[in-house]
Amino acid sequence: MIRTLYFRIAVVIFIVVWSSLFLSSLLFSRNFRSQLSAQAEERLMNDAKAIAGLIGMAAPDRIEQTVSNASRLNRILHLQLFDESGNRFSPNPETACPGIGGKTVRYVLDGNVYSSFKDEKAAECYRGLVGLPVQSDERRYALFVSPYFTKQLQEFEHLRIRNLGTGLVISVVLTGIAAVYVVRPLKKITEATRRISEGDFDVRLNIRQNNELGVLADSINRMAGELKKMERMRQEFVTNVSHDIQTPLTSIRGFSKLLQQDSIDPEERLSYLRLIESESERLSRLSENLLKLASLDSEHHPFHPATIQLDEQLRRCVVACEPLWAAKRLEIDLDLPDVTIVADEDSLNQVWSNLLHNSIKFTPPGGRISVVLRDDDKFATVRIADTGIGIAPEHQENVFRRFYKADASRKNSGSGLGLAIVKKIVDLHHGHISLTSRVNEGTTVEVRLPKNKP
């Protein structure tokens, strides 16, 4: 219980609230008492001086009567008069403070002015007491004046304490409610992350708060959505790999059974063997591409950037593909000015080879392919355009996904990994690749690479 976040938040809020309440009450009480004491002391001193003047002018046998008359005339003051022997004259003895200290009385009889406002050791019952010496004829008296509302001041202190107690109870209740309000979204977030860790990505947090918790909830919602998309892609990947492996294996198995028959003539046997060879090469290419992607995805993929002449590399790739484009009588246009960049040469060879093979594969005989190279201060741009069959708009955003094939005409033309490999290599070079296409008009792929070391 003590280690729970709810308890800790409740304790922290309670300490903060209670400390603030206590300190504010203490400061208010001190300021109030300080201001009230200064005003009360001044007024008591003025009243005491006036009463002392009356007593000083009274005859010795009329002094007690004078004190009584002064008390009746001013009902908010309590008067006490001491003679030189320490005898007290008080109009209301029952309300008098039980025994003002003899040292205090003697202090005033000696001609000094006393104020309990400045005496930190004064008894609680006569806080707010002033004393003045009074001279009447040959006799000296000590007059003490205090307000009748001294008790009310004490009750004010008790009221403050009661209010603090009430505030304590209220703060405990409000702290519990506040802690629930704070912890509830965290419990929802914890439950959501637990479900995500168990593979349930259909998680939506409805936390509409314009604070850090709201931002965290939105991030978790986005993360769950991305994980769900990745899980779907993983399932599609497994399905596609299984299909692309199973199809040639089925063909190889079928042709192998046919080859076991003695009645097959040599030409037909040779045809089956060529088909088996073709399907085996297809499996080999698939496994090679899968290994290539796995290597590119890993952190240990060999990546050796070096200074290369990009225009010469493109020319070599075009020449290497000559048997393919010459067989289809394709026209090749090259615009390759001198451009030098820092990149991994082997990886870029794979990029240009894949892109050129795609253009040659999907361009009808007699078509045209152009390779244009441009550069500026920071980037080199390679644009490969063809006059092929093109790609429909709804498929263009997915062409760089693994195992994606745009339409039925391409189902048997490859594994759908070529452009995914190209995209991964370009990303490793911190470059950018884009594709634009129109059906039956052609496709243009643009690769933009930084010229300096990635």
Percent of the chain with pLDDT over 90: 15
Nearest Cα residue to 149 out of 119, 123, 128: 128
Query: What is the distance between the alpha carbons of residues 276 and 375, in angstroms, rounded to a whole number?
Result: 46
Which pLDDT value is given to residue 330?
Answer: 93
CB-based contacts of 424: which residues, under 8 Å, 6+ apart?
Answer: 293, 296, 297
Asked if 205 contacts 188 with a C-beta cutoff of 8 angstroms, the reply is yes
Mean pLDDT of the 199-204 span: 83
More confident residue, 449 or 211: 449
Mean pLDDT of the 85-95 span: 66
Burial of residue 446 (CB within 10 Å: 0-12, 13-18, 19+) is: middle
Asked if 152 contacts 80 with a C-beta cutoff of 8 angstroms, the reply is no
Which pLDDT value is given to residue 387?
Answer: 93
> Which of the residue ranges 224-233, 269-278, 326-335 has the most confident prediction, judged by mean pLDDT?
326-335
Least confident of 152-161, 183-192, 345-354: 152-161
Residue 251 is encoded by which pair of tokens? 């063909």
For the chain, the first-to-last Cα distance in angstroms comes to 53
Least confident of 33-42, 75-84, 385-394: 33-42
Mean pLDDT of the 290-308 span: 72
Query: What is the distance between the alpha carbons of residues 361 and 355, in angstroms, rounded to a whole number?
Result: 10
Asked if 363 contacts 388 with a C-beta cutoff of 8 angstroms, the reply is yes
Evaluate if residue 411 carries a pLDDT over 80: no
How far does Cα 271 stand from its chain's mean position? 66
Evaluate if residue 221 carries a pLDDT over 80: yes
Using 50, 70 and 90 to split pLDDT, how confident is the model at 419? confident
Evaluate if residue 202 carries a pLDDT over 60: yes
Which pLDDT value is given to residue 150?
Answer: 52
Helices marked H in 58-149: 63-73, 102-109
DSSP 331: E
Evaluate if residue 63 carries a pLDDT over 60: yes
41, 127, 402 from 81: Cα distances, Å: 18, 17, 107
Average pLDDT, the chain: 78
Using 50, 70 and 90 to split pLDDT, how confident is the model at 21? low
What digits encode the pLDDT tens for the residues 140-155? Answer: 888 888 776 555 555 5
How far does Cα 318 stand from its chain's mean position? 52
Using 50, 70 and 90 to split pLDDT, how confident is the model at 75? low
Which helix (H) or strand (E) is 306 found in, with range?
Answer: strand 306-309
Which pLDDT value is given to residue 51?
Answer: 81
Which pLDDT value is given to residue 384?
Answer: 94
Residue 6 is encoded by which pair of tokens? 């709810």
73, 80, 105, 140, 164 from 132: Cα distances, Å: 19, 11, 10, 11, 38
Query: What is the distance between the alpha carbons of residues 387 and 390, in angstroms, rounded to a whole number?
Result: 8
- Between strands 340-343 and 379-386, the pairing is unpaired
Evaluate if residue 446 carries a pLDDT over 80: yes
Burial of residue 114 (CB within 10 Å: 0-12, 13-18, 19+) is: buried
What digits encode the pLDDT tens for the residues 381-398? Answer: 999 999 999 888 888 777
b/e burial code for range 271-305 (CB count within 10 A of at least 16 → b): ebeebbeebeebbeebeebbebbeebeeeeeeeeb
How far does Cα 219 stand from its chain's mean position? 9
DSSP SS3 for 101: coil
Query: What is the distance between the alpha carbons of residues 314 and 308, in angstroms, rounded to a whole number?
Result: 11
DSSP 3: T
Using 50, 70 and 90 to split pLDDT, how confident is the model at 410? very low
Q: Which domains does the chain have, with CATH numbers?
A: 5-153 (3.30.450.20), 221-297 (1.10.287.130), 306-450 (3.30.565.10)
Mean pLDDT of the 228-255 span: 75
Global pTM reads 0.48
Residue 285 is encoded by which pair of tokens? 């290419």
Evaluate if residue 125 carries a pLDDT over 70: no
